[in-house]
Amino acid sequence: MISLAFPWALALLPLPLLAWRLAPPHREPTPALRVPFFRRVTEAAGAEPRRGAVVRARSRLQMAAAALAWALLVLALAAPERLGKPVEITKSARDVALAIDISGSMDTRDFRTPDGEVQQRFAAVREVVARFVEGRQGDRIALIVFGSKAYLQSPLTEDLSAITSLLERTEVGMAGPHTALGDAIGLAIRTFEASAVEQRLLILLSDGADTASRMSPVNAAEIAADRGVEIHAIGVGDPQASGEDRVDLDALRDIARRGGGGYYFASDQDALAQVYARIDQLAPREVETLSWRPRRSLAWIPMAGALAVALGTTVFLHLASRRRAA
């Protein structure tokens, strides 16, 4: 399909005709010889005196070539273009931040796999999170790890393989032995400042109590809710343990409530996988469909035609004049 990007340019087509009708002819003064007995000379020659101005006559070929060249130039100005078939792009309208606890307690080997084997907590979590990330095609995901401090491993990105690669290289204790839940939520809030979508999801996973945050986790959750961030908190570990190794389920439950999300507890790898599946059901991915049609400019065709008409007419008239002179 061919269309014009600027069809209003076609209104310029009658402009030369209006100029020819309304504008006065161009007058160019030239030196002349004044003859006192001019009238007698004309009478003797049998000629009728006229005004000195001469309007050069143009041939039909010149008029037709000029009109055609002008029409082609106006058509080029209207920017003809070929429209391709519609192309639809599906863009995610949801951003997800994963905040994962890598404090020292995540090194405990008490997580059971579906085969019944005992596995390190973080290793089990890493496998489940990797599968969750692989299923988020179209979403932008950010990765935050926290221990004594929270660190942004990856900002929001659609490169899910990069998130998986960073997860594989992450080890327990890299961020310190303690747990900073509030700082992790605060870092997620700052990460979402670069997001322009409405659906913002924070998945917070921890196996300990907050012992190192500069910001209270509850206050951070309230701020997140004000910024439109929905928090889903997941607890793993042993609620009966003591000290920092005891997962604070009440705090996680309160964080999820204030963050407008859900609270979950997973005691083994299979339960953790079900938790992530449940989160995906409760917060389905929203998408935005963008449609556009590729455009290919064809303005060069009428421009080339106008140039060819002008050059061809000039060459023809020049050869014709030389032939007459010979």
pLDDT given for residue 34 in this prediction: 72
Phi-psi map region of 46: left, alpha, beta (phi>0 left; psi -120 to 50 alpha):
left
Question: Other C-beta atoms within 10 Å of 303: how many?
Answer: 15
pLDDT given for residue 84 in this prediction: 81
pLDDT given for residue 282 in this prediction: 63
Domain boundaries, the chain: 57-82+300-326, 89-289
- Round to whole Å and give the CA distance between 244 and 14: 85
pLDDT given for residue 135 in this prediction: 80
Q: Classify domain 89-289 at the CATH class level.
A: alpha beta
pLDDT given for residue 49 in this prediction: 67
Q: What is the pLDDT along the chain (326 residues), one digit of tens a residue?
A: 788 888 898 999 998 888 878 877 767 777 767 777 777 777 777 777 666 655 566 778 888 888 999 999 999 999 899 888 877 766 666 789 999 999 888 888 877 777 878 888 888 888 889 988 888 777 889 999 999 999 999 999 989 999 999 999 999 989 988 889 999 999 999 999 988 777 888 999 988 778 888 888 889 999 999 999 999 999 887 777 666 666 778 888 999 999 998 889 887 788 888 888 887 776 555 556 667 778 888 999 999 999 999 999 888 888 888 887 76
The number of residues in the chain equals: 326
pLDDT given for residue 243 in this prediction: 61
pLDDT given for residue 75 in this prediction: 92
- Round to whole Å and give the CA distance between 311 and 308: 5
Measured in degrees and rounded to the nearest 5, phi and psi for residue 95 equal: -115, 140
pLDDT given for residue 162 in this prediction: 92
Measured in degrees and rounded to the nearest 5, phi and psi for residue 234 equal: -120, 125
Angle at which helix 121-134 crosses helix 160-169, to 10 degrees, equals: 170
Give this prediction's pTM: 0.62
With 0-12 / 13-18 / 19 or more C-beta atoms within 10 angstroms meaning exposed / middle / buried, residue 23 is exposed
pLDDT given for residue 107 in this prediction: 85
Q: Which residues pair with 119 in a beta bridge?
A: 111
- Round to whole Å and give the CA distance between 38 and 218: 111
